[in-house]
Structure 1
C-alpha cells in the first residue's frame, strides 16, 4: 500500500450535500420478544419482564456530533501558503497554530482564515520539523474570541471509536467528515516527491473518515471534543492510477503533536525528537535481479551509534533487530519503532561476508 500526503487544494469542486441517517437498533431479550398477552402494570411494564437497555437514539448521536462541531470547528483554520491551501489547529490563546510541515513547505509567511470569520489574518513560521511532518506558525495579531483546541491523549484511542475530521479539503473551508478509528500504531512513510517531506511516522491513527487534499494539518476529533490526531496522509491505490484509496487515512497522534509543538513554542526548535537514529546516511542497493536488497552506508556520523558499533561506509545493512532491511524506507520504519538509547542488533554485509553487531541507538 502506498500513501500520499493530502496537503493542498487548488480546484474548487461542486458541493454535493450528503445526509447521513444513523439508525439505532435495539436488541431483543434473550428470553424472547413476544409477550403481547402479559398483563400491563400501572407503570407501563409487563409482569414477568424487565425493560431492555435502549441504545443511543439517532437524535442523541446527531446532537453529540453537533456539539463537537460547534465546540471544535472554530479552532480549525485554513492556511494559505503562496497558491496552496492546507489546514491548521489553534494550539493556544497566544495565536500558535500547529499544522503539517508539508503544508508550510519552504514558506515563512502565511494567510490564515478562521472558521467564524472571513477576515484574512497573517502568520509567520515559528519552526518546521519535517522529520515528524509537523510545524508551528504564529498569528501576527490574535483576534478576539480565538479558541484553542483541546489536545487529547492518543494513548486512549480505541479501534471503532467514532471520529470527525475537520479541515479545508479541496479548499472547502470548515468541512467535516465522519468515520471511525480503523487501527492504531501504524508506521507509515510519506512520499518524498513533490511537496512531501519523506517522513516515516510511527504510531499513526488510521481512520475511515475522508482525508482529502487540504485536510492536512486539520483535526481528527473524538466525540468528547478532544483532538486525537492531525490528519496527514491518505493511502493511494495503484489500481486507481495512484488516486486516493477511499476510507484509508492517517493522522499523527496527539501525544506526538503535543511533544513537538511544546518544544517548538518553548525553545523555537525541536530539542528532543524521541526518535531513534543509527547515525548514517545511506542509499538503497539492488541485487542482480534489480530488486531492493539493502541499504549501503554512504557516511557515518562520528561518535554516532553506527560509528561506535564499528559500522563503516561501504557496509550494506540487511537487518535491524528482527526487521529485514531492503530499502531506506524499511530502515526508517524499523528505527521508528525503536527508542533512543535502546539496544538492538544490526546485520550487514562487508566484503561479501555477513556480520552482526550490537548497537545502542542514538537520537535523531
Structure 2
C-alpha cells in the first residue's frame, strides 16, 4: 500500500476544515458516551446530562495518559518544515522520523518544559526505516523521557492516543484504536518522503495530519507503542488522504534502530533482507509494470552469488509476484537476512529460477 509521509509533516500555513472539526466532535461524543439518551436498566430513558461512571473513568484515564506523556512530546523545526519528536532518554536524545529531519543537521526543538526553542543536532538518520535521532545541545532541567512499551502489548481494538504537532498546533492529541497489525506500506518519494518500504506497521484510526510525524502513539498505560509516520492516500490519480487510516512504526523497530544509533552512531544491524541489487521497473507491451530489471548485482551479494546478473528481470520472489520496485521491496520485507527464497526471473526471453540466500540492507 502506498502512503504519504507528507501527511505527517507540516508544510505551509494551517487550513481550517469544518468537516474535520465535525468529525472530531463526533468521535469524542462517541468515545465519551454523549451521543444521546440511552435506556437505563429499567427501560426508562437516561437524561442527556446523566454521565455513567464508566464514562467518567475513561475520561480520567485519557487525562492521566495525556499528563503523563505529553511533556515528553516535542516539536521539531527544520529550515523547511516541522514535525514532532519524543524524548527518548534523560541525555537529550530525541527520536523522530527521517523524513522530518530531511537533510538538516541542526534543529529548533520546543519542549514542554518551556516555550523557548532549544538547539539540537543530528546524531544519525536511517531513511531505510524512516527513523532518526537528534540530541539537544543543552539538556534542560526537568526534561522527561517517555516510557516505551513492548510490541507484545499491542492488540487490535486497543484504544490509542496520537500526540504531536499537527498543522503546527503543538501538544495536540487525537484518539482512535489500533485497527490492524503487521501492515507493510511504502512511502512516496514526493513531499519529502524517503521512499522506504516499512514492515510490521501499526494501523490506527487516530488522526495523523501534517506535523504529527515523529510524535507518539500511546496506549492507556501511558506507554509509547509506535511513532505516527504515514497517512494512507487514495491510489487513484489526484487521490486525497483516506480518513481514519494511518500508520505508525512499531515500538520494537523504534527500540532496535534508536538503541543502535545512540550506541554506535549508526545502524549496524538492520534486520532487513536484501537481494543486493540496484534495479528498475520494466513494462510489458501494454505498458503495464511487468517486473524489476537488474541494473547491477553487487559483487559478492546475494543475487550475484545465486547467478543473477545485469539484464535479468525478476518476476517473483517466493510466492509474491513482482511487478515494480515497490512490490519487490514489500516482498523482501516479509523475509529476514539469511533466509533462502526462490527467485523467478527472465533472461533472454526464457524463465529461470534461482535459490537465493538473502543478504542484509
Where does residue 125 of structure 2 map in the other structure? 128
Q: Tell me, yes or no, if the aligned pair for 1:151 and 1:254 is still in contact at 8 Å.
A: yes
Query: By how many angstroms is 1:151 displaced?
Result: 1.1
Deviations 1:303-329 (A, max 9, x none): 111011011110000000100000000
When Rg is computed on C-alpha atoms for both structures, the one with the higher figure is 1
For 2:171 and 2:272, how far apart are their aligned partners in 1? 33
Deviations 1:191-241 (A, max 9, x none): 012311000000000000000000000000000110000000001125693
Q: Tell me, yes or no, if the aligned pair for 2:14 and 2:168 is still in contact at 8 Å.
A: yes
Query: By how many angstroms is 1:23 displaced?
Result: 1.8
Q: CA RMSD in A?
A: 2.2
Where does residue 299 of structure 1 map in the other structure? 296
Tell me, yes or no, if structure 1 residue 2 matches structure 2 residue 12: no
Query: By how many angstroms is 1:13 displaced?
Result: 3.8
Where does residue 23 of structure 1 map in the other structure? 33
Query: Secondary structure of 1:209's match?
Result: coil
**Residue 56 to residue 323, structure 1, CA distance change in 2 (3 Å):** farther
Where does residue 341 of structure 1 map in the other structure? 338
Where does residue 149 of structure 1 map in the other structure? 146
Q: Tell me, yes or no, if the aligned pair for 1:316 and 1:349 is still in contact at 8 Å.
A: yes
Structure 1, unaligned runs of 5 or more: 36-54
Q: Tell me, yes or no, if the aligned pair for 2:156 and 2:181 is still in contact at 8 Å.
A: yes
Q: Tell me, yes or no, if the aligned pair for 1:9 and 1:171 is still in contact at 8 Å.
A: no
Q: Tell me, yes or no, if the aligned pair for 1:122 and 1:141 is still in contact at 8 Å.
A: yes
Where does residue 199 of structure 1 map in the other structure? 196
Query: Secondary structure of 2:190's match?
Result: coil
Query: Secondary structure of 1:151's match?
Result: coil
Moved over 6 A (4+): none
Where does residue 138 of structure 1 map in the other structure? 135
2:54 to 48, 53, 57: 57
Q: Tell me, yes or no, if the aligned pair for 2:199 and 2:334 is still in contact at 8 Å.
A: yes
For 2:146 and 2:289, how far apart are their aligned partners in 1? 44
Query: By how many angstroms is 1:357 displaced?
Result: 1.0
Where does residue 276 of structure 1 map in the other structure? 273
1:103 to 74, 82, 100: 100
TM-score, normalising length: structure 2: 0.90
Where does residue 46 of structure 2 map in the other structure? none
Greater mean deviation of Cα atoms: 114-123 or 3-12: 3-12
Tell me, yes or no, if structure 1 residue 322 matches structure 2 residue 316: no
Where does residue 41 of structure 1 map in the other structure? none
Query: By how many angstroms is 1:10 displaced?
Result: 2.5
Deviations 1:116-170 (A, max 9, x none): 4211100000000000000000000001100001111123211110000000000
**Residue 280 to residue 238, structure 1, CA distance change in 2 (3 Å):** closer
Where does residue 253 of structure 2 map in the other structure? 256
Query: Secondary structure of 2:221's match?
Result: coil
Greater mean deviation of Cα atoms: 114-123 or 335-344: 114-123
**Residue 34 to residue 109, structure 1, CA distance change in 2 (3 Å):** closer
**Residue 151 to residue 34, structure 1, CA distance change in 2 (3 Å):** closer
**Residue 363 to residue 238, structure 1, CA distance change in 2 (3 Å):** closer
Query: By how many angstroms is 1:24 displaced?
Result: 9.0
Query: By how many angstroms is 1:3 displaced?
Result: 1.2
For 2:126 and 2:135, how far apart are their aligned partners in 1? 15
Tell me, yes or no, if structure 1 residue 11 matches structure 2 residue 13: yes
For 2:287 and 2:236, how far apart are their aligned partners in 1? 23
Structure 2, unaligned runs of 5 or more: 44-51
Deviations 1:253-299 (A, max 9, x none): 00000000000000000000000010100000000000000000000
Where does residue 209 of structure 1 map in the other structure? 206
Deviations 1:74-129 (A, max 9, x none): 00000000031100000000000000000000000000001242111000000000
Where does residue 165 of structure 2 map in the other structure? 168
For 2:86 and 2:42, how far apart are their aligned partners in 1? 53
The structure where helix makes up a greater share of residues is 2
